[in-house]
Structure 1
Amino acid sequence: MATSTKIVLRKTPNKAGLYPLAIRITKNRNSTYKFIGEYIPLKDWDVKNKLVKKSNPESKHINDLIDIELKKAKKGVKSLKKKNRDTDAHKIKKEIYTPSRNVSFFEFAQEHLDDLEASENYGRLSTDSSLISYIRSFNKSNNLEFRDINERYLKKFKIYLKKEHGLVETSIMNVFVLIRLLFNRAIKNKIVKRKFYPFGKDKVQIKFPETQKIGWNKWEIMLLEQIPDLSFDQLHARNLFMFSFNFAGVRISDVLKSRWSDFKNGRYYYRMGKNNKLVSLKVPKKVYDILEYYKKDKRHSNDYIFPELKAANVDDSKDIHRIIKVSGKKINRHLKNLAKMVKVEKKLTMHIARHSFGHIAEDKIHPKKLQKLYRHSDLKTTIGYQANFIHSDADEALDSVINF
């Protein structure tokens, strides 16, 4: 009899009254369950489609996880069937979910990339694929065990990245962060013992160098707003920048995904692509002026506001990611030309909208309020970020010494 794998909502709730989701593996009418670690109210479960309803704020995250876990289970069953080891449900579960100690670093890294693709996190997939390619080129073969990645290996790898690829310290640390992530997951899955962990005190430490964050000041922003006789592409690039700036630096991907239905009762509601947080912000008057410019092309209430994604296949997240990536480069080229037009010798990209907001805010706004505007999970992140733009105390201290 064929083996079936399905996602189910179990009937016994936890103390909070929430019901657990589990992968059900059935063979010869016997079933076993692998819980995926998510609990939801009974009313949020779509019995027919076997999905979490959109009424649940975490529906996308949980449904993505369901998709990943189902693919993992089906892939495992298929592999066991080829080896004639799919004898009963309990053995299948044990084979699939009991990690092997013989998994190499690159096999484990590929599982990580497969999970990113299954969850349609194409931005992270593109980045991490590139980082892993550096490790492959250094290693010169696919034979790499976790225990081989020791302090000596990482020191030689760092020299290689600098010499052969010209990577700066920040880029090198990003590669090390990925290695550390995979190492921690491998330890958790009992693929490698913690004694082989190469990071930490008295070992390899990951320290990012301070980066220079320079935003435009309010006078420069005003110059940008007042440039006359722009082409459509130049005006569009400025509109996107100002849209982001007026919402405290919304990321380019979230800006381009904005729909008319995101604006309700004078507020802008959107879900951040980076962490799936739902955000609500008051709509400034300048944003209404920007929206008015695009109203003539509005097809329906749920239509995209900006033109980039209007022709995209909304069911193909890979296509949407590709369009956003290409569009971002084009928009930044036009912003660079706008900076030249106003003779401001500072970098101007969509990301600078966030730095500009921080620069103008300085220490005028309480960090807790800025934390909400920046959508940071941790107040320390906000304080650290804003420190890049607060110079008044140091300037006053310098003046008190040298002005005599």
Structure 2
Amino acid sequence: MATAKIVTWSRKDKNGNFPIGIKVSQNGIPAYLFEGNAIASRDHWDSGKQQVKKTHPHAMRLTNFLTKKLSEVNEKILEFETDKKTYSAEDIVNAIKPKPVQAPPPPPKLPLFKDVADNHLREQKALGNYDVHKTDKSRLKRFYEFAGENVTFPEITVEFLRRYTVFLKTERNRNKKEQKSLSDRSVTNHLLAIRTLYNRAITAGLASKDNYPFGGRERIMIKFGKTEKIGLVGDEINLLKQYKFSKKQAHLHHSRNIWLVCFYFAGMRITDALLLKWSDFQNGRFYYTMSKNGEPGSLPIPPAIAAILEEYKNEPKTHDLVFSYLKCLENLDDRYALRRRINSVTRLIGEHMAVIMELLDINKNASPHKARHAFAQRAEEKEIHPKVLQGMYRHESILTTMGYQSNFSHKKMDEALEAVIDF
């Protein structure tokens, strides 16, 4: 069984005093417990009584402290003996020594919004989604101008987003030559990008649902305002179709042709028109799978389209494409390069169509997507059943078709207005 007693050290410490503490011995091997107490001279120590002599200025206090510590050591020895543990004098001393106070671990570092955003951009680029990568990168650039790059998700509160909305509405559109503020739809798209990334962070366990600032009462509601969709009417399309371009206007001629292809093929999207292949035409019909949703289908070939196809029949067939806008690409398998080129060509065709509208003295936007609006407007005027249009548009839900066509449905409202004011 170990023994313990109060002792003084025989050598002076760095302050010239003699340390005083507890010596524990087990099997002849000692260990010492010194806790900073010392006496100026060994003459103040009574080794027989194992206590500080009364000549010491703090004899009573120091003796009481050492006696209490000795008692604590003896209790620990009994505890070890009772538990029948194999122990050493060092084990006893270590069990008595006060445990060092450990500083609390630093709070976990909150994930940055930018970390999630950067990962999103990398994924979109890897997937070849050029349009998404480009637009989201631009929107995030504005967000960092407002919030900085070290903003965390808990900081993106309702009030934070309200201030961000004000910032956006007073911001200038860098994509316009004139100093024009961002449109309401652009502001909505910027907020939508933040919401998408916040949802992604919640799914990944990087943000809490409790702090979610979107939706519900007293939170940020994202609403998509309706915009007026105006397409070219029949007479305007005939003017466009019949206009004769000079040789110097060949670029306008080709842009007009692809716009007409989009219109006559039920408002085909420009991406699908640019990817139009000769092999898509079989047995007098046009077969293609819509790139946006992967829906297959076929349509008859209108005479106006047959005439346009005849014009390109003897052209070099790069990648088997009808139109040559994508011939600069080595192949069509690099989705990112493909989408980047399509984006550039779409913008170019839009610029050409703006020039053509000036030539025709038509004060309307005739961008490639407006060909889809023109078809929808004509379909509404001809009262084509939504179920038929659903198949032509390749919509999965009839509600999508009905919602889209509602943008062009004016007949009943016009008749109602006339009925009310006709007196």
Whether the TM-score (by the shorter chain) exceeds 0.5 is yes
8 Å contact 1:245–1:354 — kept in the other structure?
Answer: yes
**Where does residue 44 of structure 1 map in the other structure?**
none
- Structure 1 distance, partners of 2:386, 2:392, is 10
**Where does residue 95 of structure 1 map in the other structure?**
none
Matched ranges for 1:20-99 at <5 A: none
Amino acid at match of 2:340: R
1:395 offset after TM fit, Å?
0.9
Aligned partner (choices 355, 360, 364) of residue 342 of structure 1 = 360
- Structure 1 distance, partners of 2:397, 2:204, is 28
**Where does residue 232 of structure 2 map in the other structure?**
216
Matched, 1:206 2:222: yes
**Where does residue 398 of structure 1 map in the other structure?**
417
**Where does residue 87 of structure 1 map in the other structure?**
none
1:346 offset after TM fit, Å?
1.4
Distance 1:101-1:371 versus aligned 2 partners, 3 A rule: farther
1:174 offset after TM fit, Å?
0.7
Aligned partner (choices 282, 288, 308) of residue 270 of structure 1 = 288
**Where does residue 331 of structure 1 map in the other structure?**
349
Across the aligned residues of Structure 1 and Structure 2, the Cα RMSD in angstroms comes to: 1.9
TM-score by length of 1: 0.71
Matched, 1:354 2:362: no
1:113 offset after TM fit, Å?
0.9
* Structure 1: runs of 5 or more not aligned: 1-99
**Where does residue 329 of structure 2 map in the other structure?**
312
**Where does residue 60 of structure 1 map in the other structure?**
none
- Structure 2 distance, partners of 1:290, 1:357, is 18
Give the match's secondary structure for 2:133.
helix
* Structure 2: runs of 5 or more not aligned: 1-107, 173-180
Distance 1:101-1:115 versus aligned 2 partners, 3 A rule: farther
TM-score by length of 2: 0.68
Distance 1:116-1:279 versus aligned 2 partners, 3 A rule: farther
- Structure 2 distance, partners of 1:204, 1:262, is 46
1:164 offset after TM fit, Å?
2.4
**Where does residue 161 of structure 1 map in the other structure?**
168
Equivalent residue pairs, number: 303
Matched, 1:148 2:160: no
1:151 offset after TM fit, Å?
0.4
Amino acid at match of 1:397: A
1:279 offset after TM fit, Å?
3.8
Matched ranges for 1:117-156 at <5 A: 117-140=125-148, 142-156=149-163
- Structure 2 distance, partners of 1:274, 1:386, is 19
1:170 offset after TM fit, Å?
0.5
8 Å contact 1:252–1:350 — kept in the other structure?
Answer: yes
The worse-fitting range, judged by mean Cα deviation, of 308-317 and 164-173 is 308-317
Give the match's secondary structure for 1:206.
coil
8 Å contact 2:350–2:366 — kept in the other structure?
Answer: yes
Amino acid at match of 1:219: D
1:284 offset after TM fit, Å?
2.1
User: Percent sequence identity over matched residues?
Assistant: 39
8 Å contact 1:250–1:354 — kept in the other structure?
Answer: yes
1:101 offset after TM fit, Å?
8.2
**Where does residue 240 of structure 1 map in the other structure?**
258
8 Å contact 2:125–2:336 — kept in the other structure?
Answer: no
- Structure 1 distance, partners of 2:147, 2:297, is 43
Give the match's secondary structure for 1:210.
coil
Amino acid at match of 1:184: N
**Where does residue 299 of structure 1 map in the other structure?**
317
**Where does residue 388 of structure 1 map in the other structure?**
407
1:104 offset after TM fit, Å?
1.7
- Structure 2 distance, partners of 1:273, 1:128, is 21
8 Å contact 2:130–2:339 — kept in the other structure?
Answer: yes
- Structure 2 distance, partners of 1:113, 1:196, is 24
8 Å contact 1:105–1:144 — kept in the other structure?
Answer: yes
Amino acid at match of 1:403: D
**Where does residue 200 of structure 2 map in the other structure?**
185
- Structure 2 distance, partners of 1:126, 1:276, is 23
